[in-house]
Amino acid sequence: MMCPFCRQGESKVVDSRGSQEFVIRRRRECLHCGRRFTTYEKMEESPLKVIKKDGSRVPFDRERIRLGIEKACYKRPISPDQVEQIINNVEHCVYETFEREVPSRFVGEKVCEQLRLVDQVAFVRFASVYRSFQDVNDFVEELQTLRQRSQQHHD
């Protein structure tokens, strides 16, 4: 780390502590002139891209996920904390599985998995948009699958 006073490159860390999220504040002392200065280290984030169905790429965005979930949960007994937990779970899974790019299908399926556990009506609403249901038969098929899963859990 270059000293801002004498421009020499040798310094030692005197004190180190976390400040904001993923930021480390370091108090340094120049080994040449003895003066002290503060530096901040921030983890470099490489933005994750979502590969959409048409092949285009957009930055991964928690707020887009939130909007989709909130629409699906409209007038359902789902708290903002539950919505936040779903988003956190999906984001964690995405960052754990992918480094640079994630298919939108993966994100959508993870949201579906989480919503299915929380509220089946919200799940069907989300799935109907995400999976582009074409008619009532698509709803019936999804509901039959839900019913079968529900019976398996009760047996």
Q: What is the pLDDT of residues 21-44, one digit of tens each?
A: 668 889 999 999 999 999 988 776
* 87 and 114 part of one domain: yes
* Residue 25 structural domain: 11-42
Contact 83, 70 (CB under 8 A): yes
Query: Could you tell me if 82 and 135 lie in one domain?
Result: yes
Percent of the chain with pLDDT over 70: 94
Q: Same structural domain for residues 35 and 105?
A: no
Sign of the CA dihedral with 58 first, then 62, 66, and 69 last: positive
Query: What pLDDT, on the 0 to 100 scale, is given for residue 155?
Result: 66
Domain presence at residue 33: yes
**How do residues 45-83 score in pLDDT, each as one tens digit?**
678 999 998 999 999 999 999 999 999 999 999 999 999
For 95-105, what is the mean pLDDT? 93
Work out the average pLDDT over 112-133: 86
Grouping H, G, I as helix, E, B as strand and the rest as coil, residue 99 is coil
pLDDT over 90 (residue 127): no
pLDDT of residue 20: 60
**Cα-based distances in Å from 63 to 36, 70, 88, 122, 135:** 41, 10, 11, 18, 29
Q: Which residues contact 12 (CB under 8 A, 6 or more apart)?
A: 28, 29, 31
Q: Parallel, antiparallel, or unpaired for β 49-51 and 57-59? A: antiparallel
Residues forming a β-bridge with 18: 24
What is residue 32's predicted lDDT score, i.e. its pLDDT?
Answer: 95
Residues 26 and 72 in one domain: no
Total domain count for the chain?
Answer: 2
Q: Say whether both 57 and 100 belong to one domain.
A: yes
Average pLDDT rounded to a whole number, residues 99-123: 93
- How many angstroms separate the Cα of 76 from the Cα of each of 19, 30, 109, 113? 38, 59, 20, 17
5 part of a folded domain: no
